[in-house]
Amino acid sequence: MQRILIALFFACTCFGVSAAAGQTRPEREPFHSKLGMHLIGAYTEGTRKMVRARMPVLKILDTHHDMIQAARDYKQYNPDGIVVLRCYTPVRYTLEDEPVATAERYWNEHIWKQLGALSEEDRRLIDYLEGTNEVGECPTWEDEASTEWFTKFSIRFVELCQQAGFRPVLGSIPVGNPGSEDRGLAKILQFAPALRAAKKAGGALAYHAYTILYTKDVQVEEYYSLRYRVWYRGFTGEYADLADLPLLLTEGGVDEHGDAEHSGWKARGSWRKYVDWLKWHDCELRKDPYVLGVTLYQQGCQAAWGGWRSFDHDVLADWFVWYWNEGARTACSQ
């Protein structure tokens, strides 16, 4: 019933959406939003609508048929849009592993294993290639030695990406990390050699921008969905060259404690509350020119495997099509 009501609402109020979503425009308008979508598993009918709209960034998980087909369709309708790829890598490295050699193993055994199986045409669909995810795969922010290890590993990852023709995405820092304001900034600055290597290679830093408390209070959200601002304010003096480092928010949306059934937007309020927060968040992101976009978690996992049910966006496909094509133009002036 909820899906039907939403579809009827936008069918009545958002004229012209289906035409805009179903065909390319002779002259392409600029993207008016920084909201994108993170795909997992299935290429659903809702996703098919979304990729035809003016969505600025799309993230795919792995290179199986549904994900590559979604990227193909997205680039057909949005040739100026961004595709980010993350390859699932079920590994765990430790400080005992030499970081440079480990980065090469990681690339050969997990990343290139997927990319190398693609055609050259399909590899060209990918604009940015994400490395390790959050903190589960290797040493990252636990202490100074871990961040030093991660820096060396990441620099080698950048080199391998560049050699293969991809722009690297580093960090994938989980919400609220890598520590309190001063401590977290110190870790980011320790990581600066890797960030500089990524910038030189045309790459980006990545953060996972969830709201935990579901607020529109900027001071609160700078602990959570807008935490990256603390780091960019710290890119001064000898680090001023990083002030315009591109940032991709490669996960985002509403979360509480990572519970697939109970933490996402569908479990924590109405769809109207969620889209109202998304508009606010989008307007905040648009204030930061270095932010390329946020890929909202997630779309397609429920249809494929029944997972991450409270985070799924399929029921909001019509709203997103309307927002990307029409609503985002004036969302920040209201």
Residue 180 pLDDT: 87
User: Tokens for 18?
Assistant: 């289906």
- Tell me which residue of 308, 300, 304 sits closest to 266, measured CA to CA: 308
Note the pTM of the prediction, 2 decimals: 0.92
For residue 1, count CB atoms less than 10 angstroms from its CB and return exposed for 0-12, middle for 13-18, buried for 19 or more. Answer: exposed
Domain formed by 2-10+32-333, architecture: Alpha-Beta Barrel (3.20)
End-to-end alpha carbon distance in the chain: 30
Residues with pLDDT less than 50, the chain:
1-26
For residue 302, count CB atoms less than 10 angstroms from its CB and return exposed for 0-12, middle for 13-18, buried for 19 or more. Answer: buried
> What φ, ψ does residue 177 adopt, rounded to 5°?
-105, 170
Residue 17 pLDDT: 39
Residue 285 pLDDT: 98
DSSP state of 117: T
- Vertex 75 angle, CA 48 and 327, to 5°: 60
Give the chain's length.
334
Residue 181 pLDDT: 85
* Contact status, residue 208 vs residue 189, Cβ threshold 8 Å: no
> What φ, ψ does residue 328 adopt, rounded to 5°?
-65, -20
Residue 20 pLDDT: 41
- Tell me which residue of 120, 115, 190 sits closest to 155, measured CA to CA: 190
Q: Please write down the long-range contacts of 61-69, taking CB distance under 8 Å and 24 or more positions apart.
A: 61/86, 61/88, 62/86, 62/87, 62/88, 62/114, 63/87, 63/114, 63/115, 63/117, 63/118, 63/122, 66/39, 66/41, 66/42, 66/300, 66/304, 67/39, 67/43, 68/118, 68/122, 68/125, 69/43
* Residue keyed to tokens 């830093």: 205
